[in-house]
Structure 1
Amino acid sequence: MSTDAREEWQDWRERRRAAISGPYGPLALAGTHWLADHPDGRIAGLPGHWTAGDDAVVLRAGPDDGLTVDNEPAAGEIRLGPDADPASTRVTSGERHLLVLRRDGDWAVRDFDPESKARRSFAGIDVYGHDERWVRPGLFRPYAQGRTIRVRNADGQRRGLGLAGELAFTLEGDEHTLQVAVEGDGSLWAVLADATSGTDSYRFRFLRPPAPAADGTVTVDLNRILLPPCAFADHFLCPFPPPGNTLSVALRAGERNPTVR
């Protein structure tokens, strides 16, 4: 392994740990509360009155609730759209950030608490050692039309997963393919399992290769296989691998499992 590759991989590991363990990283998610389960607008442990509309969540709050919206004390009725970043969500309760989520037309409030039990007990991420043989040339083959399939999520519900094509690469002379999504920046995203899943590594993992070149070629670095957010907190809705994305090979590469104190 070259010195540059070793240093880049180590830097990746350190950045991942920092992102996961930050005050509003995945470990801080203490709850996802679906508003359909709270028709009276009250969520146990959260101040304010939360109701779902067609195009927004309506928060009603007063001085006694201690909420802030856009850094000002919440007062009266406020309409809230979906938040993108837990670190900069509009609604806060002390150090807690209350993020509005919409998924498949349903609204929820997520509670990111820097004092969550998961964050306090986090000790690190167990990873396989870097191996250059896991860095493979790949080819992205887009579908003529994108497709959406329904897959089970970590909370037991089935939801749509958008797929844009397949990513092909070879290992020991055999071609393997993964169905992938294309992110807004052109990078790829695959949800996968392999022969280590559920035993030597978490039950499924993510792979995020960079944007392919114009001819579809892309480097597939399996050393950077990621744990999904639901490996760090139980309140995420991570999709399970779609059909065809459970590989028969043992990918002893990338992140394996979280470690706790």
Structure 2
Amino acid sequence: MSTDAQQQWKAWREERTGAVSAPYGPLSLTGTHWLADHPDRRIPAVPGEWREEGETVLLTAAAPDGLTVDGRPLDGEVRLTPDGGPGTARVAHGGRRLLVLRREGLWAVRVFDPDAAARRAFAGIDVFDHDERWVLPGRFRPYDSARTVTVENADGRERGLGLAGELAFDLAGEEHTLRVATEADGSLWAVFADGTSGTSSYRFRFLRPPAPDARGRVTVDFNRALLPPCAFAEHFICPFPPPGNTLTVEVPAGERNSRTR
């Protein structure tokens, strides 16, 4: 491995560990509460009344509840739309951030707590050694139109997973493919499993290649395979790999498991 590659690998690992262990990173998630499961409008251990109202969530609270919205105490009602992430969550309760989430028309509130037990117990991310043999030339083949498949999620429910095309690459002279989605910036996202899944690595992982060039060429670097958020906190709803995304070979590259003290 070249000095430049080693430095980039080390920097990526440090950045990734810092993001995971940040005060409002994935380790701090202590609950995902679907409003449909709480017809009384009360969420366990969260003050206020929360209810769906059209394209918004209506939150009602009194000053003694201790909720703040945009940094100001809430005493009355406020309409909320989905937050972009815990860093942009408008509602807080002390040090906790209460993120409003919408998935397939259903509303939820996520609780991020910097004092979460998982964050206190975190000791790092185990990874496979970097191996340049797992940096592969790839080819993105977009579908004629976007597709949606239904897959099981980590919380036991089935949800739609949007797919934009296939990512092809060669291993030992044989072509393999992963079904991928595209992000707003053109980069790709795959949920995959392989021969290491459930043994020497987590049961499935994410891969986020950069945007393909005009000819569909893209570098596939399995050294940067990621643990899904549900590897750090059980309250995430990560999708399982769609049909066709379980590789028949072992991929001993990238992140393996979250390590605790």
Give the TM-score of the pair, scaled to structure 2.
0.99
Measure, in 1, the Cα distance between the counterparts of 2:44 and 2:6. 47
What is the distance in 2 between the residues matched to 1:31 and 1:219?
A: 36
Residue 172 of structure 1, CA deviation: 1.4
Cα deviation per residue 1:170-225 (whole Å; 9 max; x = unaligned)? 11111110000000000000000001101110000000000000000000111000
Q: Which residue of 1 aligns with 2:79?
A: 79
Matched, 1:44 2:38: no
d(CA) in 2 for partners of 1:42, 1:104: 22
Corresponding residue number in structure 2 for 1:102: 102
Structure 2 partner of 1:198: 198
The alignment partner of 1:82 has SS state of: coil
4+ runs deviating over 4 angstroms: none
1:128 aligns with 2:128: yes
**Distance (whole Å) between structure 2 residues aligned to residue 54 and residue 211 of structure 1:** 36
Q: Distance in 2 between matches of 1:153 and 1:108?
A: 16
Structure 1, unaligned runs of 5 or more: none
SS at match of 2:245: coil
Show the 5 A alignment for 1:32-71.
32-71=32-71
State the secondary structure of the residue aligned to 2:51: strand
Partner of 2:240: 240
State how far apart, in whole Å, the 2-side matches of 1:9 and 1:54 are: 46
- Tell me the secondary structure at the aligned position of residue 236 of structure 1: coil
Cα distance in 2 between the residues matched to 1:151 and 1:53: 28
Q: Deviations over 1:64-94 (max 9, x none)?
A: 1001001111121100000112022100001
Q: Distance in 2 between matches of 1:68 and 1:103?
A: 24
Which residue does 1:141 correspond to in 2?
Answer: 141
TM-score calculated relative to the size of structure 1: 0.99
Aligned pairs, how many?
Answer: 261
Q: How far, CA to CA, are the matches of 1:111 and 1:85 in structure 2?
A: 11
Give 1:44 shift. Answer: 1.6
Secondary structure class of the residue paired with 2:234: coil
Query: For 1:235 and 1:85, how far apart are their aligned partners in 2?
Result: 15
The 5-angstrom pairing of residues 223-234 of structure 1 reads 223-234=223-234
2:10 counterpart residue number: 10
C-alpha distance in 1, partners of 2:50/2:184?
Answer: 31
CA–CA separation in structure 2 for the residues paired with 1:54 and 1:161: 24
**Gaps in structure 2 of 5+ consecutive residues:** none
Q: Aligned AA for 1:194? A: D
Aligned equivalents of 1:59, 1:154: Cα separation in 2? 28
Report the Cα offset of residue 240 of structure 1: 0.3
Alpha-carbon distance in 1 for matches of 2:243, 2:196: 17
Distance across 1 between alignment mates of 2:19 and 2:194: 25
Q: Distance in 2 between matches of 1:62 and 1:31?
A: 23
Q: Does 1:92 align with 2:92?
A: yes
Match of 1:207 in 2: 207
CA distance in 1, matches of 2:139, 2:74: 51
